[in-house]
Amino acid sequence: MTMHTTIGLMSGTSLDGIDAAVIRTDGRDRVEAGAFLTVPYDDGLRERLRACLGGGSPESVATVARDLTDAHAGAVSALMATARLDPADVDLIGFHGHTLLHAPERRRTWQIGDGARLAALTGIAVVDDFRSADVAAGGQGAPLVPLYHRALAARLARPLAILNVGGVGNVTWLGADDAVIAFDTGPGNALIDDWLRSHTGRRYDDGGALAGRGRIDTAALAALLDHPYFARPAPKSLDRDAFDPSPVAALTPEDGAATLTAFTVATVAAARSLLPAPPRRWLVTGGGRLNHTLMAGLARALGVPVDPVDRLGWSGDALEAQAFGYLAVRSRLGLPLSLPTTTGAPHAMCGGRFHGITVAS
């Protein structure tokens, strides 16, 4: 099979910045990871993005979308300099954009970013709009990384779970005969990050240190867990702001962080009931794998080995960006990006929108 050099770009719900990764792949089961970097958002763009979550005036969203696209073009340029690549060396960019709203129950998902502009700015063809076709067909449009997880984990013992703890948590369950099931488990880091931002001014709980000094409020935790999402069958997915954090509003910064961290752990543990067989091992990717309090809680709750994906030589920071490079190739080959067991779509779904190279305006 022909190998393609791609750059995957991911702007996650944690609002940290832009992850950019080079991979070479055939879009099926061959993947070679290359250079990776993260370009943090400047505070101004981050706050303007935050203000657009859920929607905003057409003028403000259009301006943020343009600036977001330009920031992604800068990330591509920086990554190519690091990897010593020219635009002619790269076949495709997989551009996720930034999610402002995810409401598949209304058949709506909204990622901003201008793929045509990005192609013009970088001189590289772009695939974007990965989720819309799935949602329009009745699927959840998320998570979309499971087929990449399956390619990466082809030689690992199963049943296996790969847990991504970004702004939202999602799990990929891999069984025998390439069986794959995926869904959002519940909150990831978003509630914790928002709590830290409002109570300490920091963007995240570094290493889980604040939560580690706190005590879990069991009544608040029970109230958080009393949400109809957890009774729904899989596949299912969430918006970043699906949960009301008011049960922890009166707690100290330490106790609030501890309780919200326990909430993420409890929702992952509860997700096991939706899996066909208990995983023999959990591999954790995303920023949550760096939260020692969260990881220790997962190990206690799950009772089997829980390891960061980095122990396998994978990059837990790069994985989602790599996945959109992989999915860009699949889109161009007409291969499915999602399955009924990963998003609830009625059949295996292709997707993505292609933008060839044009001249920037």
Q: Can you spell out the DSSP letters for 103-159?
A: EGGGTEEEEE--HHHHHHHHTS-EEE--SHHHHHTT-------HHHHHHHTTTS-SS
pLDDT in tens, 104-147: 999 999 999 999 999 999 999 999 999 999 999 999 999 999 99
pLDDT at position 359 is: 57
Binning pLDDT at 50, 70 and 90, where does residue 220 land? very high
Instruction: Tell me the domain boundaries of the chain.
Output: 4-143+317-355, 155-312
**Angle of helix 190-200 versus helix 253-271 axis, rounded to 10:** 180
Half-sphere exposure of 125 (CA within 13 A, CB side): 17
pTM to 2 decimals?
A: 0.93
pLDDT band at 58 (very low <50, low <70, confident <90, very high): confident
Tell me the average pLDDT of the chain: 96
What gap in Å lies between CA 187 and CA 68, rounded to an integer? 25
Task: Round to whole Å and give the CA distance between 341 and 361.
Answer: 42
Q: What percent of the chain has pLDDT over 90?
A: 93
d(CA 142, CA 12): 13
* Mean pLDDT value across residues 273-298: 97
Average pLDDT over residues 160-166: 97
Q: Where are the alpha helices (DSSP H) in the chain?
A: 43-52, 58-83, 115-122, 132-136, 146-152, 190-200, 209-212, 218-225, 253-271, 292-302, 319-333, 340-343
Structural tokens at position 91: 């076949």
What CA–CA distance (Å, rounded) separates 345 from 143? 12
**Is the model's pLDDT at 262 over the cut of 80?**
yes
Q: The dihedral of CA 333, 334, 338, 339: what is its sign?
A: negative
User: Is 155-312 in the same CATH topology as 4-143+317-355?
Assistant: yes
CA distances from 287 to 1, 80, 113, 221 (A): 33, 24, 23, 22
Spell out the long-range contacts of 104-113 with Cβ–Cβ below 8 A and sequence spacing 24 or more: 104/135, 104/139, 104/140, 104/141, 104/142, 104/237, 107/135, 107/136, 107/138, 108/135, 109/135, 109/141, 109/142, 110/55, 112/52, 112/61, 112/64, 112/65, 112/68, 113/11, 113/65, 113/68, 113/69, 113/72
The pLDDT of 14-42, averaged and rounded, is 95
Domain 155-312 is of which CATH architecture?
2-Layer Sandwich (3.30)
Q: Write out the two tokens for 65.
A: 């979308």
Q: What is the pLDDT of residues 297-338, one digit of tens each?
A: 999 999 999 999 999 999 999 999 999 999 999 999 999 999
Phi-psi group of 196: left, alpha or beta (phi > 0 → left; psi -120 to 50 → alpha; rest → beta): alpha
Whether the pLDDT of residue 290 is over 70: the answer is yes
The tokens for 78 are: 């920086």
Band (pLDDT 50/70/90 cuts) for residue 14 is confident
In angstroms, what CA-CA distances link 314 with 26, 79, 307, 310, 311? 18, 18, 12, 5, 7
CATH class of 4-143+317-355: alpha beta
pLDDT over 70 (residue 31) = yes
- Rounded CA separation 46/40 (Å): 9
Least confident of 43-57, 84-98, 245-259, 277-291: 43-57
